Structure 1
Amino acid sequence: MDAVAHFSQLARYNAWATARLLDAVRAVEEADYRRDVGLFFKSIHGTLNHLLVAEHHLWYPRFAEGASPRVALDAELESGRARLDARLREGAARWERLVAAVPAERWDGALDYTTMRGDAASLPFAATLAHVFNHGTHHRGQITAALTAQGQPCPALDFVYYLQNPSQP
């Protein structure tokens, strides 16, 4: 399998699913958006902020720059809904460009970084990138469960729906 093609597809899916979820979240009343609904990061807002932290402030710099930033996983990087929405969409769009720029020899190599605890880590590059996209899927699933519990409509986010119609918003 061609790693660039595979991970480019996952990056496009990640952006597609993120956009569909954020479109659904826009309809949620402010109190429901910020209410602790029992998610690991408590609320829809907290979980979206966690996605911003993890995907765009931790993992992206690790892959793109070889940097190992430190930021709390539950940090609120954006308190405003509109700015958080925009940053998540912008961040998701960057991954496909990053994947396209990865040299062929990198895919079978390692990603070396420093953990949040300050420990050196070395993980398989491609498998760790798969983790990033899987992590987003996990937390989007939590948010759709919260939306359902609140009686809100949820978009279909399964990868197979993306494969069937990737241009559908």
Structure 2
Amino acid sequence: MTVSFKMQIAQMARYHAWATERLLASVEEIADEQYHQPFGLFFGSVHGTLNHLLLTDSGIWYPRFAQLPVTGLGLDAEVEADRAELASSLKAATARWSVYIDGLDEAAVAGDLSYTMTTGQARVLPMASALLHVFNHGTHHRGQITAAISMLGFAYEPLDLPFMIFSEPQ
């Protein structure tokens, strides 16, 4: 079977949503005090890091692709204080990428994304690279959160891409 670049990007979008959902299920076990505890993560706590992921997915990167206004919030802003609402919003934000990519054709995936950085500077990136950045960014911060979960003594499900592939119908 030939796998197109768009199919690979679509797989990464599914992975982004799948891994986020699994992580959020693991985080449910953690008491609020520990969930908000500073761990030395770039965005402080599990809560702060999840908020950052929501902000970047739904307030910065998705609007750039969808040509919507980008939030003016700082990267460490608390978008959602309520833990359950944060999890729900993050699941919706990560699921939206698959719908977006389904609407692209191979030429669009091979094209460029022109956007304005939060500093006001105009930028152009290859579309595929920009999409992969979104998913890689999520992986980076999910890794930080799993380290915090481990330090607290909690277990979490493996988040590696092959585990998603093995779980998908063949």
Matched, 1:119 2:121: yes
Q: Which amino acid aligns with 1:123?
A: L
Q: Which residue of 2 aligns with 1:95?
A: 97
The CA distance in 1 between the partners of 2:39 and 2:106, in whole Å, is: 43
Q: Which residue of 1 aligns with 2:131?
A: 129
Q: Which residue of 2 aligns with 1:57?
A: 59
Q: Say if 1:66 and 1:104 are closer, same or farther in 2 by CA, change over 3 A.
A: farther
Q: What percentage of residue pairs aligned between the two structures are identical? A: 44
Matched, 1:40 2:42: yes
Q: Which amino acid aligns with 1:70?
A: G
Q: Which amino acid aligns with 1:119?
A: Q
The answer on whether the counterparts of 1:39 and 1:142 sit within 8 Å (CA) in structure 2 is: yes
Q: How far apart are 1:93 and its partner, in Å?
A: 1.0
Q: Which residue of 2 aligns with 1:152?
A: 154
The answer on whether the counterparts of 1:58 and 1:71 sit within 8 Å (CA) in structure 2 is: no
Q: How far apart are 1:160 and its partner, in Å?
A: 1.3
Range 1-10 or range 144-153, more displaced: 1-10
Gaps of 5+ in 1: none
Q: How far apart are 1:114 and its partner, in Å?
A: 0.8
Match of 1:81 among 80, 83, 105: 83
The CA distance in 1 between the partners of 2:80 and 2:150, in whole Å, is: 24
After the TM superposition, which segments of 4 or more aligned residues of structure 1 sit over 4 Å from their partners?
none
Gaps of 5+ in 2: none
Q: How far apart are 1:68 and its partner, in Å?
A: 4.1
TM-score, scaled relative to structure 1: 0.94
Q: CA RMSD in A?
A: 1.3
Query: For this pair of structures, how many residues does the alignment match?
Result: 167
The answer on whether the counterparts of 2:59 and 2:70 sit within 8 Å (CA) in structure 1 is: no
